[in-house]
A = this chain, B = another copy of it.
Amino acid sequence: MLLNITVYNMKEYETLDSLKNLVRAIPDYPKSGIMFRDITTLLSNPEGFKATVSGLCKPYKIGSIDTVVAIEARGFILGGAMADRLACGFVPLRKKGKLPYNTITQEYTLEYGTDAIEIHADAIDTNARVVIVDDLIATGGTAEASVKLIKQFSENIVGASFVIDISMLGGRQKLEKMGYNCNVLIEY
């Protein structure tokens, strides 16, 4: 029996504002006119990091999730901690050409052109109960592509957790209209 006993007290953190204050705003990155939300300052703060993981896990109970699917690369940081807390498996969604075994690919549209993400062809058990995680949802292009990939294995997408929602870009609404519960900690 490999499983360790883990007891968590996932009580609500005090205010979402205290998390928001730990996010650094970087103007004109990656290009002029964009205000980049840098979560590295949140992650490097021990209390901020713990509270973030607690918030991302809050809707889900240990034993009710089989797989956390995380999107490269910042999603990996949060997804690893979530899978450990929820005592479930971890599956990476990676940029094209990064996974070593047989993969399934899903393209998605960017402002100019397209990009693609991949998952291993045997990554998720049939009908597994899945949570998606990423640091940020903006237009929702990557999240929608993730949903399409996961649905090739399982219809049981229990929800999606994001640290940040850039609400004017509508990605969260798009996911919710498709019927998926979104759990967001900070809105801009």
Contacts and interface: CB of A to CB of B under 8 A. Distances in A.
Given A30-B100, A46-B89, A89-B49, A11 B4 contact: yes
A2 B29 contact: no
Number of copies of this protein chain within its complex: 2
B50 A2 contact: yes
A99 B70 CA distance: 19
| Size category of the binding interface on chain A | 35 or more
Contacts of A6: 6-9, 50
Given A2-B13, A43-B92, A84-B85, 5 more contacts: A3-B50, A4-B51, A46-B89, A49-B90, A50-B87
Interface of A: 1-11, 13-14, 18, 24, 26, 29-30, 36, 38, 40, 43-51, 53-54, 66-67, 70, 72-74, 76-81, 83-85, 87-92, 94, 98-101, 120, 123-124
